[in-house]
Each structure stands twice: as structure tokens, then as C-alpha cells.
Structure 1
Amino acid sequence: MAAVDMDPDVARRLFEEGATLVLLGVPQGTELGIDYKSWQVGPRFRGVKMVPPGLHFLHYCAVNNPSCGGEIGPKKGLFLTLKPREIVLATWDPQEEDLNFSDSQNEEEVSRTRDNLRELDPFLGPYPYEIMRKWVSLTDRLTQELVSELQPLSGRICAFADVIPELQLKHTKDRAEQNLPRNDKACQSMKEGLDKLPKMKQREGTELRFSHIPSQTYPPGATPAQVTQCSLDLSYALETVLNKHYKLQPLNVLGELQFAFVCFLIGDVYEGFEHWKCLLALLCRSEEAMRARKDLYLGLIAVLYHQLGEVPPDFFVDIVSQNNFLTSTLQDFFQCTNAPGIDSTLRKRAEKFKAYLVKKFRWDFDADLEDCAPVVVELPEGVTVD
């Protein structure tokens, strides 16, 4: 970790008030980072100093035989909320290829480390202060309480899901009882081969605990007209999510949006990206909610402004269909913000955001939606489609 030029007053304040992560035994070559920056660990590394108090994301990838150009393992990470002058201790567990933070609960060990900070100082890299503003802009709606509700019970956010077989079928007899195909029989098709694979499930306690977004967007017993309306305007589904998870603090849903984005952008968790897409679509297609929840949507624009500043213009384009899901989602959003009854402040803010996106990404939000409508094909007389 190379030292970074820093304003002397800022450096002095961080030296006096900053927290310290003492990370012992991390193998040389391990990729380790905090927030929006990462490094390859060298032989002298013992941790990170001068960490600004607040919420941070520590992440790392184990490397197999780095001296021989070994392979990099999947990324793991965890959120930490650090207090001024706090010392957090962790030791690398080579068997689990993970950091063990149990020493942080030992007051004597923490006190001994604090007394030895002067000797440790040459082996501690300074927090990369130049990324602090960017990190705060990506997580300003995220609190430790919200993180605790969303992250896995294990406390670790992993790029690859930890999966185990749904059923422990060690013998052929066990498979026969479940009416599953035998492994010693040649497969005649791809489907048969897939059927032979054991059904997997995520290990309990390792699942991200995102809010459940209902697949049914209309209330029970809805009339056909209500079903149509609730399919076009997703406000009912959004209110269902808010009432279930964020009844007292509805703006916390923006914190969940940030959590999902950070899990994907920094933690390499694809599930985070998928949830971010679903949650964003729900928010952007809820016209009635925009009339009732101005502050939520003003906050959404601010969150998206910072998030979209961190991705390349073609990131959201589907390679196969060349369909940019974000363009269509935001096109719906901007149409809703122009609807009757929308607060003028929200409408003006949305117009400025739209102009910013057009300039930065050259996205066209004014394309005729009829161009995307299904094409009706006339079949010759007597021809039917099964």
C-alpha cells in the first residue's frame, strides 16, 4: 500500500481520531481492500490506519501460491462501523481463508495492541482518503442497523453462494428411493444429464436478506380493471414492500438500493445487481407513489446520480438484445414525473437529472414507445399456429 499525499490538517485529524484495522497473518499476494480501493498485500502488511470513523466495507480474495502466479479465490467482505480511535483486530485463518475477528472481543488483546501501535505503525498502510468522498456518496443512506438486517447472518458477503445438496444421497439406493436417475448410466440428452446433478440450496445463514418484492402487483380480489392498473402503476406493490419492511422509515429503501449496488459493484455479488434492478424498476414505475412520497423520489434521484457515475455507459446493455434495461426503466420514471399532480420540485429535479444522463451517456429517453410494441403478423388464410 503506497502512501497518499494528504492535506496535513486532514492527516493530523485522522491520525488522532481515525480507527485502526490490525490484520495479522494475511498471506502475501492476497487482494485486500477497503471501500472503493484494493491492493495486493505485501510481506510487511499488518493492517490499515487512519480510517475515518463510520461505515466501511472490508473485502479480500485469497490467492493460491501467489509466488507462482496462483489463482485468485472468490471475494469475501463485511461491513464495519468504526468509532473514533477504535482498534479492530483480526487474524487470518488459513484453513477457512478468511479473517477471524474474535480477538476484537478480547479487551486485554486490544489494550496490548494499542500499547504497541508505535511499533506496528511502519507496517500499517494509510486509509486511501482520496476515495472517501466517493464512498460516502454511495452509502450516505446506509446505516449499520440496516446493514445488519440485510447482510447474511454469517456476517460475510460472498461473491459465490455457499451451496450444499438439498438431500444427502450418498448411495445408489438413496437415489432410487427419490426416483432419481443412476449416475452409472450414460446420458442420452442434456436434460437427463442435468437431472442427474444434485439439487442444491444455499447454506443456511449465508443468504442476503433483501426485501421480498411481490410477484403479484395487485391486491387480492382485484377486478380486471384493477389488475391492469396495478400492472401499469406499481405503487400498490411498492407500498406493500414499504409497509412490510420500512413502515416507520420508508426512505430506508434507498439504503437497501445502495446496499445492493455496493454488494455488486465492490463485492462482485451478482445477486446484488439483480435485486438492484428489481427494486429500481419498482420505484421508477410507481406513479401514484411519486405523488404521495416526494422526499423518497428526490432521494432516489440523488442516489442514482452517484451510482450511475461509477459505471461505464454500455454497462447496462444486454449483449444479445442490445436492450438497455436502465434506459427503458428511467424512461418510465421520467414519464411519471411529468404526470399531473407531481410536485413541481420533483419534476424540475427529474428534468435536470434527465438532461445530465442524456449528456453523459447519450441515452435517448424520448424515443417513441410504440417502436417497442409487439408486431402483429397477419397469417395467410387457413394457416394456424399451434
Structure 2
Amino acid sequence: MATVDMDPEVARGLFEEGATVVLLGVPEGTELGIDYKSWQVGPRFRGVKMIPPGLHFLHYCSSNAPDRGGETGPRTGLFLTLKPREILLAHWDPKEEDLDFSATQNEDEVGRVRAVLRDLDPFLGPYPYEVMRKWVSLTDRVNQELATRLQPLSGRVCAFSDVIPELQLTHTKDRDEQNLPRNDTECQSMKEGLDRLPRMKPREGTELRFSPIPRQTYPPGATPAQITQCSLDLSYALDSLLEKHHQQQPLNVLGELQFAFVCFLIGNVYEGFEHWKRLLALLCRSEEAMRQRRDLYLGLIAVLYHQLGEIPPDFFVDIVSQDNFLTSTLQDFFQFASGPGVDGTLRKRAEKFKAHLTKKFRWDFEVDPDDCDPVVVELPDGVTLD
């Protein structure tokens, strides 16, 4: 780990007041990082020191020995909220290829580590303060309570989901009942083979616990006109999500947007990107909410400003259709933000953000939408257009 050039007095203060994560037994060559920076572990590594108090994301990838190819495994991470002068202690579990933090609960063992902390200093890498501002800008809406609620019950955010079959089919009779091929049965096409594979589900406790995006965008008993309106303006669906999952703190939905983005950007979890897309679309296409929730949308602009600076602009382009889902989503947002009843400060902030994105990414938000395209809505059972 590289050292950080800073004033000796500042460094001494950070060493005394900053938190320390002591990681013992981590194999050489393991990729390990905190927040927005990662390193390859060397033979002298024993942890990270001078960590500023607050929320952090510790992440790591196990690695084969060089004589076995030196390949790294999928990334695993966990969110930590650290206090001043706190010491977290973990041992590497070679069988699970994971960090075991149970030693942190042993006050005697932590006390022994604290007593020799100065002796450990040469083996502790300093927190990368050069990326601290960027990390804070990406997570300033995420607190430990929210992170704990959203991360898997296992406490680990894993790049690849741990999945198991929905049904345990151990006998030929079981496979026949599910229309699955026997070992001696050949499929006639790839589609047939994929269709006949066992259905999989995440292992209990390993799935991210994002707030489900409402499937029904209209209230019960809605008329066809109301259904159409609620399909164009998703405010009812947004209000439903906020009431169910963020009732006490509606602005926590911005923290969830940041949490999903960090899980994708740093944790390499594609599910995080998919949830970020769906949640962003819900927020950007809620016209009435934009008039009613000024602070939420001012916060959304600030969150997006920092997030969009971290990903190349062509990342959002669909490789099949060449459409940029983000420009179409934000086009709706900017259109609604310029509408009647929107707070003047929000309108001006949206105009500046639009100009910033147009200049930086050359995204065109002025293309006229095809208003002639029909809007397809699903009617509830028993409702007709007669």
C-alpha cells in the first residue's frame, strides 16, 4: 500500500483519533480496498489505519497463489460505520476465503491489539485520503441504519449471487414432474435447454434487500382515465414506495439510490445497477411529486451530479438499440421540472444541471419525443374501456 504525503502533525492526529481495521492472515496477493481505492496485499500487510469516522465500504477478492495462475475471485464487501479510535479486528478464514470479524467481540483480544498498536504501525496502510472527498460525495445520504437494512442479512455484499435451486430435485421422478431433462436426454436447441434448467433463487440471507418498485402504478379501483394518467405520471407509485419503505425519512430514498450505485460501482454487483435504473426512472417520471417534494428533487440533482461523473457516458448506451436510457429518463425529468407549479429554485437548478450534462457528455435533451406512439396500460380485472 502506498503512503500518503501529509504533515507529520496531521498524520499523528489521524493516527490517534482515526479508526483502525486490523486484518490478520490475509494472503499475499489478495485484492483489498476501502471505499474508492484498492490494493494488492503484500507480505507485511496487517490492516488499515487513520480511517476517518463514518461509513466505509471494505472490499476484497481472494486470489490463487502465483503458481496456480494468480486468478482473483469475485469481490466481496461489507459496510462499516467506524467511531473515533475504534479498532475492528478480523482474521482471514482460508476455508471460506472470507474475513471473520468475530474477534471484534472479544474485548480481551481487542485490548491486546490496542496495546501493541504502535508496534503494528509499520504494517498498517494509511487510509487513502486522496479519495475521501469522492467517497463522501457518493455516500453522504447513506447512514449505517439504512445500509444495514439494505445489505444482505449475511452482512456481505457479493458480486455474484449465491444461488440454489428453487426445488431440490434429487430423483429422476422429481425431474420428470418438473419437465427437466434426464442425464441421457439431449435438448434440440439452446432455448429448450435453458427453458428446462432448474429455476434458481438466491440463498437465504445473501440477497440485497432493496425496496421493491411497485408493479401497480395506479390506486385500487382506478378508472381507465386514472390508470392512463398514473402510467404517464408515476407519482402514485413513488408515494407508495416512500410510504411503505421510507415513511419516517422520505429523503432516505436518495440514500438507497446511492447505496445501489456503490454496490454496482465498487462492489461489482449488477443487481445494484438494475435497481438504480428502476429507482431513478421512478423518481424522474413522477411529475406531481416534483411539485410537492422540492427538497427530494434538489437532493436528487446533487446525487446524480456526483454519480454521473464516475461512469463513462457511453456506458448507458444499449448495445442492441443504441438508445441511451439515461437521456430519455432525464429528458422526462427536465420536462417536468420546467412545468407549472415547480419551485423556482428547483427549476433553475434543473436547468443548470441540464446545461452541465449537455456540455460534458454532449447528450441531446431537446429531441422531440414521439408523441404519436401509443401508451399501453394494463387494466385491472373487470375494467373495460366501454
Q: Same fold (TM over 0.5)?
A: yes
Residues 44 and 67 (structure 1), Cα distance of their counterparts in 2 relative to 1, 3 Å cut? farther
Q: Counterpart in 2 of 1:302?
A: 302
Q: Deviations over 1:83-136 (max 9, x none)?
A: 000000001111111000000000000000001112211110000011001000
3-state SS, counterpart of residue 142 of structure 2: coil
Q: Counterpart in 1 of 2:346?
A: 346
Q: Counterpart in 1 of 2:208?
A: 208
Q: Counterpart in 2 of 1:182?
A: 182
Q: Counterpart in 1 of 2:254?
A: 254
Quote the offset at 1:198 in angstroms.
Answer: 2.0
Mapped partners of 1:131, 1:345: distance in 2 = 31
Quote the offset at 1:10 in angstroms.
Answer: 3.4
Mapped partners of 1:264, 1:12: distance in 2 = 35
Q: Aligned ranges for residues 280-319 of structure 1 at < 5 Å?
A: 280-319=280-319
Contact 2:180 2:197 in 1 (8 A): no
Q: Deviations over 1:302-326 (max 9, x none)?
A: 0001111111121111111111100
Q: Counterpart in 2 of 1:194?
A: 194
Answer with 248-257 or 181-190: which moved more.
181-190
Residues 9 and 349 (structure 1), Cα distance of their counterparts in 2 relative to 1, 3 Å cut? farther
Q: Deviations over 1:204-228 (max 9, x none)?
A: 0111000011111111111111011
Contact 1:22 1:89 in 2 (8 A): yes
Mapped partners of 1:149, 1:99: distance in 2 = 21
Mapped partners of 2:238, 2:279: distance in 1 = 9
Mapped partners of 1:71, 1:319: distance in 2 = 29
Answer with 175-184 or 58-67: which moved more.
175-184
Q: Give the counterpart letter for 2:158 in structure 1.
A: C
3-state SS, counterpart of residue 6 of structure 2: coil
Mapped partners of 1:149, 1:278: distance in 2 = 19
Q: Counterpart in 2 of 1:110?
A: 110
Quote the offset at 1:373 in angstroms.
Answer: 4.7
Quote the offset at 1:35 in angstroms.
Answer: 0.1
3-state SS, counterpart of residue 355 of structure 2: helix
3-state SS, counterpart of residue 50 of structure 2: strand
TM-score by length of 2: 0.94
Residues 201 and 334 (structure 1), Cα distance of their counterparts in 2 relative to 1, 3 Å cut? same
Mapped partners of 1:373, 1:171: distance in 2 = 51
Contact 2:301 2:350 in 1 (8 A): yes
Quote the offset at 1:300 in angstroms.
Answer: 0.4
Q: Counterpart in 2 of 1:377?
A: none
Residues 205 and 245 (structure 1), Cα distance of their counterparts in 2 relative to 1, 3 Å cut? same
Mapped partners of 2:203, 2:328: distance in 1 = 36
Q: Give the counterpart letter for 1:241 in structure 2.
A: L
Q: Counterpart in 1 of 2:95?
A: 95
Structure 1 unaligned residues grouped into runs of 5+: 375-386
1:139 aligns with 2:139: yes
1:366 aligns with 2:359: no
Q: Aligned ranges for residues 52-67 of structure 1 at < 5 Å?
A: 52-67=52-67
Q: Give the counterpart letter for 1:65 in structure 2.
A: A
Quote the offset at 1:258 in angstroms.
Answer: 0.3
Quote the offset at 1:371 in angstroms.
Answer: 8.5
3-state SS, counterpart of residue 309 of structure 1: helix
Q: Counterpart in 2 of 1:2?
A: 2
TM-score by length of 1: 0.94
Mapped partners of 1:365, 1:130: distance in 2 = 34
Contact 2:179 2:196 in 1 (8 A): no
Residues 34 and 364 (structure 1), Cα distance of their counterparts in 2 relative to 1, 3 Å cut? same
Contact 2:217 2:237 in 1 (8 A): yes
Q: Aligned ranges for residues 8-87 of structure 1 at < 5 Å?
A: 8-87=8-87
In percent, how many aligned pairs have the same letter? Answer: 81
Mapped partners of 1:301, 1:8: distance in 2 = 38
Q: Give the counterpart letter for 2:207 in structure 1.
A: E
Q: Counterpart in 2 of 1:222?
A: 222
Mapped partners of 2:119, 2:12: distance in 1 = 19
Contact 1:28 1:66 in 2 (8 A): no
Mapped partners of 1:170, 1:294: distance in 2 = 56
3-state SS, counterpart of residue 267 of structure 2: coil
Quote the offset at 1:372 in angstroms.
Answer: 9.1
Mapped partners of 1:2, 1:46: distance in 2 = 14
Q: Give the counterpart letter for 1:306 in structure 2.
A: H
Quote the offset at 1:68 in angstroms.
Answer: 4.5
Quote the offset at 1:370 in angstroms.
Answer: 2.5
What is the RMSD of the two structures over their aligned residues, measured on CA atoms? 1.4
Residues 366 and 11 (structure 1), Cα distance of their counterparts in 2 relative to 1, 3 Å cut? same
Quote the offset at 1:9 in angstroms.
Answer: 4.6
Mapped partners of 2:256, 2:75: distance in 1 = 21
Answer with 194-203 or 131-140: which moved more.
194-203
Mapped partners of 2:195, 2:316: distance in 1 = 33
Mapped partners of 1:315, 1:194: distance in 2 = 28
Q: Counterpart in 1 of 2:321?
A: 321
Mapped partners of 2:89, 2:243: distance in 1 = 39
3-state SS, counterpart of residue 315 of structure 1: helix
Q: Give the counterpart letter for 2:35 in structure 1.
A: D
Mapped partners of 2:372, 2:256: distance in 1 = 31
Quote the offset at 1:260 in angstroms.
Answer: 0.2
Q: Counterpart in 2 of 1:381?
A: none
Contact 1:81 1:144 in 2 (8 A): yes
